Amino acid sequence: MGHIISNEGIEVANAKVDLIVNIPIPTCVKDIRSFLGHAGFYLRFIKNFNKIYKPLSSLQATGLPFHFSKECEMAFAKLKKALFTAPILHPPIWGEPFELICDAPDYAVRAVLGQ
């Protein structure tokens, strides 16, 4: 899932950081939906996700021109940073139950183990 778990704790894998850092600014509705789909998969790990997400979600409206405003640019940058800034994952509480959350879009299967 892009994280390295070791005795030192949980670190974000460098390959994932490079991929997320280099995501270009969306230029169309398809790009924004792709990015928000990826970010939305981690929404439960990103504090205030819905507040950050709001300006970007308005870009998905049909019949309106796609205008990537300064507010959208700031929200995009903030979500990108939240996706690779540790800690996305917190150390587990071993005595508590775990939950496996799965997602299967057209091209991949993803899963998150959470509590």
How does pLDDT run across 5-33, given as a tens digit for each residue? 766 666 666 666 677 778 889 998 899 88
Domain-embedded: residue 64: yes
Q: For residue 28, what are the domain limits? A: 3-90
Question: Facing residues of 112 across strands?
Answer: 101
Identify the CATH number of the domain in which residue 38 sits. Answer: 3.30.70.270
Q: 17 burial class (0-12, 13-18, 19+ CB within 10 angstroms)?
A: middle
Which helix (H) or strand (E) segment holds residue 112: the answer is strand 110-114
Number of domains observed in the structure of the chain: 1
Domain-embedded: residue 102: no
Residue 34 has pLDDT above 90, yes or no: no
Weakest mean pLDDT among 60-64, 66-70, 93-97, 109-113: 109-113
Weakest mean pLDDT among 35-39, 66-70, 82-86: 82-86
- State how far the Cα of 96 lies from the Cα of 39, in Å rounded to an integer: 26
Domain-embedded: residue 110: no
Domain-embedded: residue 107: no
Domain-embedded: residue 81: yes
